[in-house]
Amino acid sequence: MPILRTERLEKTFDTSGADTSVVAVRDVNLDVEAGEFLAITGASGSGKSTLLHMLGGITRPSGGRVLLEGVDLASLGDDDLAAIRRRRIGFVFQRYNLLPELTLLENVALPLVLDGRNAAAADAAARESLAAVGMDHRASHRPDELSGGEQQRGAIARALVTSPAIVLADEPTGALDSANSARVVELLQRLVAERRQTVIMVTHDATVAAAAGRVVKMRDGRVAYDSASVEVPVS
């Protein structure tokens, strides 16, 4: 069973009337296996973020379905969906989204605290997660005392702290210079290789996409290319 499957996934945004509705994602059928590192590329407006948000249960589809570990996300009520988002999915955003008034350690521990874990257990898990991204030496710093690359590594530690089934990242290197971008990509590669973590990453950057084991290209809301389904010609 794939860890994530989409069947005829579709999203239409109805803005102010039928004539202005936008089909952002249409007929997307994807199987992602545990331990895959998948990059989603495509032009601006091609539906990458909308797709990622549906995969993560942030946006509800207009049609089709998303199965995460065999569970149809549409079958879940808001509370159960929120619990899956907290426990089984790790999100990484372009702008890190660390809370400025918390230390890095507190930021990383936050998903566990919000999920009702006791402070000592959350703390220990957060330290371990920070160590995994090479940021344990900055645990007591606040985000504004860290570089962009360090903040993003902290955000990845936060995404991993719950041991999610899958990590979803939307332009995780979009705000970084090339050296920091390479570091973040290397980190994601290592997580996939060493922890058999599953990562789906949206990126504009061809160099970043090339680091993934599989590349899916979106065009006008559809999958225009999937390196996993390109047939190798037999001669």
Q: Which is nearer to Mg ion, 49 or 180 (CB)?
A: 49
Instruction: Please identify, using beta-carbon distances, which residue of 66 and 202 lies nearer to Mg ion.
Output: 202
Q: Tell me how far, at minimum, the Cβ of 4 lies from Mg ion, in Å.
A: 19
Helix (H) or strand (E) holding 91: strand 89-92
**204 touches 30 (CB < 8 A):** no
Q: 164 by DSSP, 3-state: which?
A: coil
Q: Which of residues 22-51 bind Mg ion (CB under 5 A)?
A: 49
Partner from Mg ion, ligand ATP, none binding residue 22, C-beta < 5-8 Å depending on class: ligand ATP
Our CB check for ligand ATP shows the closer of 40 and 126 to be: 40
Select the binding partner of residue 45 from ligand ATP, Mg ion, none (C-beta < 5 to 8 A, by kind): ligand ATP
Q: What is d(CA 135, CA 148) in angstroms, rounded to the nearest whole number? A: 13
Query: For binding to ligand ATP (CB under 6 A), which residues are involved?
Result: 13, 15, 22, 24, 42, 44-50
Which residues share a beta bridge with 178? none
Q: How far is the CB of 48 from Mg ion (least distance, A)?
A: 5
CB-based contacts of 145, cutoff 8 Å, min separation 6: 138
Task: Report the nearest approach of ligand ATP to the CB of residue 17 (Å).
Answer: 12
DSSP annotation string for 10-76: EEEE--SSGGG-EEEEEEEEEEE-TT-EEEEEE-TTSSHHHHHHHHTTSS--SEEEEEETTEEGGGS
24 binds, among Mg ion, ligand ATP, none (CB under 5 to 8 A by kind): ligand ATP
Nearer of residues 43 and 114 to Mg ion, judged by Cβ: 43
Interacting residues with Mg ion (CB under 5 A): 49
